[in-house]
Chains A and B, each alone.
Chain A
């Protein structure tokens, strides 16, 4: 069983479209994250949720909206996609905010 799973794995879409990425973890963790990895492999946090509550919201355009329906799920919705949104998006989870973070396999988003 995959601990942190994301869907879809690949996403190719046109500029201006709206898309969602889903994430689920079966580790029983209470904290989940979204990270963005650019073409130079730099990983930067976007959002963090603890027990369904938003606790970290980095400087991210408000076209990006996370949603956590329960502790095991954290989805990312992106409106009006732009070319610069092309990147790999990783979901991660940890037990409490101090815990070790485990990552999903990533969603490779390409905006054309």
Chain B
């Protein structure tokens, strides 16, 4: 079993829809949780960074962490074609390495 599981998609939704992206993990020591967005042929770009459980909102993006279920989510409201990209979840414990999910390829259809 991989430490971090993420549905690779692809996921296609119409413009304006709410998008839900998820990751599950097995290592209960993970404390820091991140979501990265990666456009084709570009480097990963940090979208959200959360510590421990709870919600964090930034504009149209909301990150949720449920440590009891070992489950994290990223919600995108009012999705735009410019949101089309691969979304990678990532997590780490303290000083340890950042462990990535496999990424979900998202397409927003105009």
Contacts and interface: CB of A to CB of B under 8 A. Distances in A.
Interface string A72-105: 0000000000000000001000000110111111
Contacts of A42: 100, 102-103
A48 interface: yes
A55 B103 CA distance: 26
Interface residues of B, number: 25
A106 interface: yes
Nearest to A4: B43
B100 A101 contact: no
A40 to B, nearest CB: 7
A97 B92 CA distance: 10
A101 B88 CA distance: 13
Contacts of B44: 43, 90, 103
The listed residue with most B CB atoms (<10 A of its CB), out of A58, A90, A100, A108, is: A100
A55 B92 CA distance: 15
Contacts, number: 54
Contact of B88 (A4, A43, A48, A97): A43
Interface residues of A, number: 23
Interface in B53-110: 86, 88, 90, 92, 94-98, 100, 102-103, 105
Given A41-B105, A103-B43, A103-B44, 20 more contacts: A40-B8, A40-B102, A41-B86, A42-B103, A43-B88, A43-B90, A43-B103, A56-B97, A90-B44, A97-B94, A97-B95, A97-B96, A98-B32, A98-B92, A98-B94, A101-B34, A102-B46, A103-B45, A106-B42, A106-B43
